[in-house]
Amino acid sequence: MKLTFRLHAIQKMFERQISTDDVRQVVERGEVIREYADDMPYASRLMLGWIGERPVHVVAADNPADSETIIITAYEPDPATWEADFKRKKGQDS
């Protein structure tokens, strides 16, 4: 799988000490917890994966024309904002 990292993603990954291997693991083995079908130019998705005990969210979009997955951003979800399973924001039904 070809991963293409947006500049924003690279900057945030560096700040947050998330490696490209961490992102690849989330994309390959993580769970899609939200889909954004209306995102442009490609539909995107929010994925949750675990790097050891650390939860990591990755936002990615697929570009089938170039057989690539574009990494938009990656971050460790804030427990103050997210439910304990890190799949839903607090106060949201879905």
Residue 52, pLDDT > 80, answer yes
DSSP 40-60: SSS-EEEEEEEETTEEEEEEE
The Cα–Cα gap between 83 and 64 comes to: 33
Q: To which CATH superfamily is domain 2-75 assigned?
A: RelE-like (3.30.2310.20)
89: confidence class by pLDDT, cuts 50, 70, 90: very high
Q: Give the residue among 78, 69, 81 at the shortest CA–CA distance from 30.
A: 69
Residue 94, pLDDT > 60, answer no
Domain ranges within the chain, ordered by starting residue:
2-75
Q: Looking at residues 69-74, what average pLDDT do you find? A: 98
Identity of the amino acid at 27: V
